[in-house]
Chains A and B, each alone.
Chain A
Amino acid sequence: MLNTDFIKQLRCQLVNLGCPIARVRRLVREVADHREDLKQAALSDGLSESAAEIHADTLLGNPLELAERLTMALRQSSWWGRHSIIGFCVLPLLAVPVLWSLLMFLSLWLAFAIGYALDQNRLHVAADNPANFHHMFLVVHGADCLAIALVTLLFCWLARRSALSFKWTVTACVICSLYAMFSWIRIAPHSLTLGLTLTPQWFRFATPLAVVAMAYAFQWRTVCRFDKEVAV
């Protein structure tokens, strides 16, 4: 039932259009059930087995068009699918500083938890100590890179979950990359500076690209596994 030509074409097109694999499994199973019900109804009307199959396929229509309609409905069912431009072009610009602030807040909370912030003087002394300052340097720049990577990952996941095509993932990634390339952060003893620059920050620029490349590889691996699984 799950390996008729109709169902194979439907499954293949759903995967090509970017539907999440879990959703493809469920849609294909339900459409296959539906097709079987249509076939049984045709059989009970006196049609032969092959005529009933043709009748069921005719009622369901072209599998490629059905896959497009199903994907479109899936996209329209989420806010991200309905407002892709806002979601994947504007929000990444806001998400990076918001997440960075959250991570910095978390770092400050950790500093508080290990006792530094209980005594303001200890923070000043730590900033003047090269070893301690090195730790602060790593925390700030680590939080910065982590924020960029997590935001890119978040938008990859949202695009995939909303069954959007890969172009939206790439769009969000490019925006994150450009934002990261022209913004900078500098920590010095007793000061933290944030700003925009015309000097490209290549490491920051590459971070979202690396994340999206990994997300794409993961997606490709999942699709290959799924193809192997249904071929058995």
Chain B
Amino acid sequence: MLTHLTVIGIVAAMKKTNPSFLNGVPELLVLRLLSRREMYGYQIVEEIRTQTGETLSFGEGCIYPYLHYLEAEKQVSSQRRAVDGRSRNYYKLTPRGRKRLGELTTEWKRVTTGISSLMEGQHA
């Protein structure tokens, strides 16, 4: 089933449309993708869809306010550039974004380890 990461809120992203345990996931996914290379909005949406095996998906077009928010927080920076005759806004990770990605990754691993332990009944 496709889970739509429709960005309604930014701080508590997805609060209204998704379970609360998914809060912060869009930020983690976007920062993770941008840590690999510069990307534009469409590419980010497509990469999230394909790399999660179509389990997760941003609403088309809804990623832009989110990217602008990350830019305002100085976690990403953007530049308008023409590539192959098409002009687009490319986003890339900043040092602050890299630091934030580290924090989110640690937190994500902590949560998933805890959930896995419970699901596998290790403490039973």
Contacts and interface: CB of A to CB of B under 8 A. Distances in A.
Chain B interface, DSSP helix/strand/loop, else mixed: mixed
Interface stretch (A58-66, A89-97, A98-106): A58-66
B61 interface: yes
Contacts of B7: 69, 73
A76 B8 contact: yes
Interface in A32-82: 33-38, 59-61, 66, 69-70, 72-74, 76-77, 82
Given A33-B88, A34-B41, A77 B69 contact: yes
Given A33-B40, A33-B88, A69-B8, A77 B65 contact: yes
Contacts of A70: 61-62, 64-65
A37 to B, nearest CB: 4
A59 B11 contact: no
B31 to A, nearest CB: 16
A27 interface: yes
A73 to B, nearest CB: 4
Interface in B53-100: 59-62, 64-66, 68-69, 72, 86-89
A76 B15 CA distance: 11
B60 A77 contact: no
Contacts of B68: 23, 26, 74, 77
B60 A59 contact: yes
B64 A69 contact: no
A37 B60 CA distance: 11
Contacts of B61: 31, 34-35, 60-61, 66, 69-70
A128 interface: no
Contact of B42 (A29, A37, A66): A37
A33 B89 contact: yes
Interface of A: 23, 26-27, 29-31, 33-38, 59-61, 66, 69-70, 72-74, 76-77, 82
21 contacts: A27-B64, A31-B61, A33-B40, A33-B42, A33-B88, A33-B89, A34-B41, A34-B60, A36-B86, A60-B60, A69-B62, A70-B61, A73-B8, A73-B65, A73-B69, A74-B68, A76-B8, A76-B11, A77-B10, A77-B65, A77-B69
